[in-house]
Amino acid sequence: MSIAQSYIMRLRRKRHQARAFRKQFSLREVVNRTAKIRGGDILLFSTMRDECVRLPYFLNYYRDLGVSHFLIVDNDSSDGGREYLADQPDVSVWTTKASYKGAKFGVDWLNWLQRKYGHGHWTLVVDPDEFFVYPFCDTRPIRALTDWLDTSQVRSFGAMLLDMYPKGRIDAVPYAAGQDPIEVASWFDPGNYMIEKNRKYGNLWIQGGPRSRVFFPDRPKKAPALNKTPLVRWHRKYTYISSTHMLLPRGLNLTYDEWGGEKASGILLHAKFLNTFAAKAEEELARGQHYSGSVEYKAYAENIRDNSDLWCKWSEKYINWRQLEILGLMSKGNWA
Amino acid sequence: MLVHTAFGRAEQVARHWSAAGCPIVIHADKNVPKKTYTGFVKALSDLPNVRFSRRHRCEWGTWGLVAATQSASAVMLSDFKDVRHVYLASGSCLPLRPVQELVDYLAERPHTDFIESATTADVPWTIGGLDQERFMLRFPFSWRKNRFLFDKYVALQRKLGYRRRIPNGIVPHMGSQWWCLTRQTLSAILEDPDRSVYDQYFRKVWIPDESYFQTLSRLYSRQIESRSLTLSKFDYQGKPHIFYDDHLQLLRRSDCFVARKIWPFADKLYDAFLTDAAGAMKRTEPNPGKIDRIFAKAVERRVRGRPGLYMQSRFPVEGRENGLTCAQYSMFEGFSDLFENFGPWLARVTGTRVHGHLFAPERAEFSDGQRVMNGALSDNATLRDYNPHAFLASLIWNTRGERQCFQFGPRDTVKEIEWNIAKDPNAQISVISGAWAVPLFKSNLNFSEIRQEAARLQQIESKHLDVLRSPWAKARIRIWTMAEFIEAPMEPLQTIIDEIGKQSQHGLAEVPKMADLTGFGQFLQNLKNQGMHPYLMGDFPVEHRLHEPERGQRKPYLVR
């Protein structure tokens, strides 16, 4: 990579930081408890809109893993989610009526908050329907992982998005607040993922899974990206540039080994396909606030009405992280 | 005890040693803030047999660690006259067996020094290639903070051919920095009249804490047991593996006296091993074999990975795959054209999974007409052709334990995948060249269309054969012309099946049914007459009327 290219990347990073700075003005503080944050705390950042039903389980899941503080941007929820969050002792909430799309699908807001509060902390950026799974997560808290990454001098940790879905129609089993969504959507595609390297930013571009298989079989290029780097030891210079798929500086994207070995990696269980999904898809389609002209939601809405069963004979039922590691979806690397 | 972090745990362990009657000298890194340090000293002030030694700045790989050990050892030897063995531990070490057992163990071996100590020539432990050179060059720059200068200075010395003189002809040894030495040996090292010479020398050696005592103890020890009593495992980057709560049973079964490094928040481990009686283990020799295996496997996975796996944290560049796929598979070209029931026959004879044309333009023809295969792999052609290599690698990975066979031919999407297969040592490729003409021969197309299609297929296959014959092709490849093959079809079939290696011992009881080739020679001649010369199938005589040549009989067209 030449000096000129490095410089272009630097400018690009600066531009994203400037965007984040600008977009902070659209955020209004609801509750700010960030004074409670202590050095070494693991922080979780998220944006959400009308996800109230998911919040109780979501917060508890991450509390159990050892997240100390949640910093959440509420994008104009009307289902009481904002108020619910404001009542939690370990949550700070900001709200905005501004465009989700205009804030690069929330990235700008979170970049700003991370820059302000995340510097020097391990930060986890996940959506309310994403559940972080890492090697030994059943016996070791996140702190064990981040301490190990620190001693290994690793700054970022990759976790592929794994789409979970129920057996039968998506809307057949209702999801109740507080319930483990993986109980409802407990199936996934174990082995149909496609990987390419993004030469520009150095990250891997992963596609596949049920969304490629069912929604995008004829335009696979349009299928959503599944590569994510949600856990980063944040520095105020860092910036996410496209959801949590890519970061700058580019070194943070190198969460994979190119010489034949395996680095440690995790999985984000993506419990998007619950009974709440159909309504959400219709609504999001109307708002047009999602990636690439909401092409994803269009494809969903078309398919979901007549053919909402993502399950097939070769779907695998989720058991635990060891299963995912054996299937080759994630790896322990040299953490033992 | 060397301490630099997790003082709460260090205190806990210090109390444990102390309660068992072991005097302790603690060295705290000078980088530790004063407030933390004084708090720590105060917390341990109620213990009568604890001393603190002069503090040095300890950075990994530098002299500070040795200096710290020297100071602490000196205090130990002068303040506690009864001490016979000195055990060097760290704040993150955890005694696994009752301290009394260790005391007894050492008492039974009063003149033995436990220190891992080997010459650099004999062991491949070192990371980063600086094995001999760490004793021959100077290392004034920090590897962690000044990597650039470190590397440059090493390169410069190499270029100039600089070599340090090793004082007094000592032989450099290396080993784990966690040792247990007798008073005799330790005091001899510390009181050596030439100590300043040695210190001067080791000051500029790379990672002296792994070589200073290891080398000098060789000069004085009466009996060296070259092993460490501390269970400490290092990964491929040279940093210690860390133990967590879920290692409890492993550590229990290891029978080691002390383990390092323990994660400071591993409450269960500290609870289990520091409450003596409950964690008591039987009196046996340390046996860390199982732990060794687990950590060796972890390193193996990090360095070499699982062959044939492509995933989010393993995406090897070309040439470093360590196996393009994870298991052997067979690709057959032309067989299903020449034999009417080749697929079912092969499945019966070998017991493998036999697919149709996986790379057919319409869809991936999975076995038994399945639309989705293992791993939820779709048969959709667009999806497959979007990344055909991922498709194949996934298929082979998803069906680990069951051999995959599939058909291939010039009608398929050849170009994107042929190199991947040809370069793959796991692939067994068997080709009957020119057999694609058989379906054309049987078809009901107009002859001009046939001629056109034949020309197209011949061109594709000819290029494909070039790939298979290229020097980069690593698969096991066998190519027969069609004429060659039908002359004695059973022989090559037997060879292929033998190589797959799953059939019964009695040879092939059943033979696949060959298509009726009456008139095929004439068909080829007609193509020739139209100016399209089919050559890939070898020489077929026009008049040849027998569709299945009798065995053992010389064919007229072979006579020149």
- Residue B167 CB neighbours (<10 A): 12
Distance between first and last Cα of chain B: 91
pLDDT digits (tens, 9 = 90+) for A157-205: 999 999 999 998 888 888 988 999 999 999 999 999 999 999 989 999 9
B377–chain A nearest CA distance, Å? 5
Chain A residues within 8 A of B311 when measuring between CB atoms: 160, 193, 195, 262, 265, 328-331
Give CA–CA dist B463/B478, Å, rounded: 16
A108–chain B nearest CA distance, Å? 25
Query: Length of chain A in residues, anyone?
Result: 336
E strand or H helix that includes residue B113: strand B112-114
Position B550 confidence tier, pLDDT thresholds 50, 70, 90: very low
Contact call for B312 and A196, based on CB within 8 A = no
Position B252 confidence tier, pLDDT thresholds 50, 70, 90: confident
Position B558 confidence tier, pLDDT thresholds 50, 70, 90: very low
Contact call for A314 and B373, based on CB within 8 A = yes
Q: Which residues contact A143 (CB under 8 A, 6 or more apart)?
A: A42, A66, B265
Give CA–CA dist A99/A112, Å, rounded: 16
The pLDDT value recorded for residue B282 is 56
Q: How far is CA B331 from the centre of its chain?
A: 28
- Name the residue with tokens 């793959």: B424
Of B265, B317, B380, the CB nearest to A217: B380
Q: At what angle do helices B447-468 and B415-422 cross, to 10 degrees?
A: 30
Closest chain B residue to A324 measured between Cα atoms?
B311
DSSP string, B161-182: T--PPPGGG---EE--S--EEE
pLDDT digits (tens, 9 = 90+) for B340-376: 889 998 988 888 899 999 999 999 999 988 999 999 9
Nearest to A231 by CA among A311, A126, A334: A126
The pLDDT value recorded for residue B553 is 46
Burial class (CB in 10 A: 0-12, 13-18, 19+), A157: buried
Mean of the per-residue pLDDT values of chain A: 89
Q: Are strands A231-233 and A156-157 parallel, antiparallel or unpaired?
A: antiparallel
A234–chain B nearest CA distance, Å? 20
B371–chain A nearest CA distance, Å? 10
Which three-class secondary structure state does DSSP give residue A267?
strand
A212–chain B nearest CA distance, Å? 8
Q: Are strands A156-157 and A159-163 parallel, antiparallel or unpaired?
A: unpaired
Longest dimension (CA), chain A: 56
The pLDDT value recorded for residue B560 is 33
B559, pLDDT greater than 50: no
A195–chain B nearest CA distance, Å? 7
pLDDT digits (tens, 9 = 90+) for B192-220: 888 999 998 888 888 888 889 999 998 88
B278, pLDDT greater than 80: no
Contacts with B, A 82-141, CB within 8 Å: 136, 139-141
Chain A residues within 8 A of B398 when measuring between CB atoms: 190-191
Contact call for B313 and A329, based on CB within 8 A = no
B479–chain A nearest CA distance, Å? 32
Contact call for B311 and A329, based on CB within 8 A = yes
Chain B residues within 8 A of A259 when measuring between CB atoms: 316-317, 320
According to DSSP, residue B90 is labeled B
Which residues, in sequence order, are bridge partners of residue B546?
none
B496–chain A nearest CA distance, Å? 29
The pLDDT value recorded for residue B508 is 67
Contact call for B298 and A139, based on CB within 8 A = no
Position A281 confidence tier, pLDDT thresholds 50, 70, 90: confident
Average pLDDT in the B449-459 region?
91
Size of interface A-B (CB pairs under 8 A): 174
Angstrom distances, CA of residue B542 to CA of B485, B523, B545, B556: 17, 8, 8, 11
Phi, psi of B119 (to 5 degrees): -75, 150
Chain B residues within 8 A of A261 when measuring between CB atoms: 301-305, 314
Chain A residues within 8 A of B60 when measuring between CB atoms: none
Of B297, B306, B317, the CB nearest to A328: B306
Contact call for A195 and B311, based on CB within 8 A = yes
CA dihedral A162→A167→A173→A174, nearest 10 degrees, is 10
Whether the CB-CB separation of A204 and A228 falls below 8 Å is answered with: no
The pLDDT value recorded for residue B511 is 80
Whether the CB-CB separation of A331 and B301 falls below 8 Å is answered with: yes
Give CA–CA dist A254/A231, Å, rounded: 13
Query: Over the Cα atoms of chain A, what is R_g?
Result: 19
pLDDT digits (tens, 9 = 90+) for B308-326: 999 999 999 888 888 889 9
Average pLDDT in the A262-282 region?
87
Whether the CB-CB separation of B58 and B29 falls below 8 Å is answered with: yes
Give CA–CA dist B515/B519, Å, rounded: 12
Phi, psi of A172 (to 5 degrees): -70, -45
Chain B residues within 8 A of A159 when measuring between CB atoms: 312
According to DSSP, residue A331 is labeled B
Nearest to B93 by CA among B224, B215, B251: B251
Angstrom distances, CA of residue B148 to CA of A250, B155, B452: 21, 11, 65
On whether any CB of chain B is under 8 Å from the CB of A315, the answer is: yes
C-alpha triplet B411, B417, B418: angle, nearest 5°: 75
Whether the CB-CB separation of B244 and A136 falls below 8 Å is answered with: yes
Whether the CB-CB separation of B313 and A255 falls below 8 Å is answered with: yes
Q: Which residues contact B550 (CB under 8 A, 6 or more apart)?
A: none
B551, pLDDT greater than 60: no
E strand or H helix that includes residue A232: strand A231-233
Most A CBs within 10 A among B311, B320, B362, B394, hence the mutation to make, goes to B311
Q: B339-347 contacts: CB < 8 A, separation 24 or more?
A: B339/B512, B339/B513, B339/B514, B339/B515, B340/B512, B340/B513, B340/B514, B340/B515, B341/B512, B341/B513, B342/B407, B342/B512, B343/B367, B343/B407, B345/B510, B345/B512, B345/B513, B346/B405, B346/B512, B347/B405
Most B CBs within 10 A among A167, A192, A265, hence the mutation to make, goes to A192
- ipTM of the complex model: 0.91
Longest dimension (CA), chain B: 110
On whether any CB of chain B is under 8 Å from the CB of A196, the answer is: yes
pLDDT digits (tens, 9 = 90+) for B324-346: 899 999 999 999 999 988 999 89
Amino acid identity of A47? T
Closest chain A residue to B299 measured between Cα atoms?
A334
Which residues, in sequence order, are bridge partners of residue B432?
B480
Contacts with B, A 148-167, CB within 8 Å: 148, 151-152, 158-160
Nearest to B414 by CA among B395, B398, B436, B394: B436
DSSP string, B400-422: TTS-EEEEE-TTS--HHHHHHHH
The pLDDT value recorded for residue B152 is 85
Chain B residues within 8 A of A270 when measuring between CB atoms: none
pLDDT digits (tens, 9 = 90+) for A283-303: 777 776 666 666 777 777 776
Position B160 confidence tier, pLDDT thresholds 50, 70, 90: confident
Contact call for B311 and A148, based on CB within 8 A = no
Most B CBs within 10 A among A221, A314, A327, A329, hence the mutation to make, goes to A314
B298–chain A nearest CA distance, Å? 4
E strand or H helix that includes residue A242: strand A239-242
Mean of the per-residue pLDDT values of chain B: 86
Whether the CB-CB separation of B86 and B181 falls below 8 Å is answered with: yes
Position B542 confidence tier, pLDDT thresholds 50, 70, 90: confident
Contact call for A313 and B372, based on CB within 8 A = yes
Closest chain A residue to B248 measured between Cα atoms?
A139
DSSP string, B348-399: HHH-SEEEEETT-SSB---GGG-SEETTTEE-BHHHHHHSHHHHHHHHHHHT
A155, pLDDT greater than 70: yes
Give CA–CA dist A52/B198, Å, rounded: 69
Of A140, A193, A334, the CB nearest to B235: A334
- Residue A206 CB neighbours (<10 A): 24
